[in-house]
Amino acid sequence: MKKKSTITIYDLAKELNVSPSTVSRALNDHYSIGKKTIKTIKKLAKDRGYSINSVAASLRKQQTNNIGVLVSWIKRPFQSSLISGMEEAARESGYNVLISQSHDKYDHEIENTNAFYDSRICGLVVSLAMETTDYKHLERFIDNGTPVVFVDRIPGHLDGYKVVINNFESAMKATLHLVEQGCRRIAYFGGTENQVIYAERKRGYIEALKLSGLPIDESIILHGDNLSADEGVKWTTYLLGLDNPPDGIFSTNDTAAVSAIQYAKSVGKRIPEDLAIIGFNNDPLCLIIDPPLSTVHHPAFDMGKLAVEQIIRIMEAEETIPVQTIMLETEVIIRASSLRKKPLD
C-alpha cells in the first residue's frame, strides 16, 4: 500500500511565511502566540485539511495517547459494558483505546501486554485472566512510569490503582437475602479462588451463613473455570441429585444462574418455591429469563469510565498520585427468582 503525501506543519509554515515552530505552537494554543496568528494558522490548517501526525508527536513527546485495555472476553455483557465506559471516557479526553482479550489465559495476557508495551501505550487498564497469579508482565509498565489501573479482577498481592466493587459485602447481602426468603441450605457457584473477586464473594457467602446460624457445607460450594452455562447445568444437575438438595443458589454470575433456572425448571422444580436463585452482574438476560433473575447490580459501565478517568488523572497530574482503590456501590436487585415472601406492607 502506498500512502499519498500528506500536508505537514512545514507546508502550512511555508504558505504563511512563518516558521514551523510557530505553526506548531499555534495549533497547540501556546500562550506566547498572538490570538490573531493562531486564528490565521488554524484557518489555513482547516482549509488545507491538515491532520496532525500523532505518531510523530508521540515520538517527540515520548508519550502516545493510546490507552491499552486488557479484558478476558469482549463478548461477555459485563465486559463489553466495561469497555464501553472506557471508550467513552477516553474519547472525551482525546485518547484512543486499544483493546485485547486474554481469553482468561495467562499466556495470552503476556503476549498482549507485550504488544501493548511495544506500542508505548500511555496507560493500561487490566481485568486479569482467570489463570493469572503473577504480575511481572504488568510491573514492567509501572516501572517505566506507565500507569496501570486494575479493574474488577484485581491482583491479590500487588499494590496498585484499583477500581472494584465490594465483593464481600455484595455476596453477603445476596446470600442474606436468600436467607430472609426462607432458604436454609444455599449452594454457591463461584470461579477460581485464585481470583480475588471470587475469594471475596465466597467469603461474603460464608459470612452470611455464619451470621444466620446456618451450617457451611463444602459439598454444595462449587468452583469452576468459567462459570459458563454448561457449568451451571452440570452443577445444578449434581445439586438436585443430592439426597438433601439445596433450597437456594447464590451464583457469582448470571450466566450460570440462568442455566440453573432453566435446568431446574426442566426437571419440574418450581422457582423460587423449591429453589430460590440469585445471580451476579445484572446482565440483560436477567429480565429475559422466566422468572426474572434476582441479581447484584454491577456498575460495569461506570467502572470502566472511572478506571480510564483515573488513568488520565494519573497521567496528567503534576505530582504523583498515591495508589488508591476506588470502591463502587452495588445493589441487590430482587426479582421473582428469589422472592418467596410477599413484601410486608
Partner DNA sequence: TTGTAGGCGTTATCAG
Partner DNA sequence: CTGATAACGCCTACAA
Contacting residue, 15, 37, 80, 238, with DNA by CB under 7 A: 37
Contacting residue, 77, 93, 110, 169, with a second copy by CB under 8 A: 77
- Length of the chain, please? 345
Position 318 contacts DNA (CB under 7 A):
no
Contacting residue, 29, 143, 243, 345, with a second copy by CB under 8 A: 143
Position 94 contacts a second copy (CB under 8 A):
yes
Which residue, chain included where needed, has cell 485464585? 194
Which residue, chain included where needed, has cell 459485563? 78
Query: What are the cell numbers at 180?
Result: 430472609
Contact range with DNA by CB under 7 A, out of 18-26, 200-208, 264-272, 301-309: 18-26
Contacting residue, 91, 219, 323, 331, with a second copy by CB under 8 A: 91
> Which DSSP string do the residues of 123-144 spell out, in sequence order?
EEEE---TT----HHHHHHHHT
Contacts of residue 269, defined as CB under 8 A and 6 or more positions apart, other chains included, come to 240, 275
- Considering only the C-alpha atoms of the chain, give the largest distance between any 2 of them, rounded to a whole number of Å: 89
Q: Binding string, 34-53, against a second copy, x = CB under 8 A?
A: ---------------x-xxx
Answer whether 243's CB lies under 8 Å from 220's CB: no
Bridge-partner residues for 96, per DSSP? Answer: 66
C-beta of 230: minimal distance to a second copy in Å? Answer: 13
Q: Binding string, 47-76, against DNA, x = CB under 7 A?
A: ---x-xx--xx-xxxx--------------
Helices (H), 188-299: 196-211, 229-240, 254-266
Residue ranges binding a second copy (CB under 8 A): 1-4, 6, 49, 51-56, 58-59, 62-66, 73-77, 80-81, 83-84, 87-88, 91, 94, 96-101, 111-112, 114-120, 140, 143-147, 258, 262, 284-285, 288-290, 314-315, 317
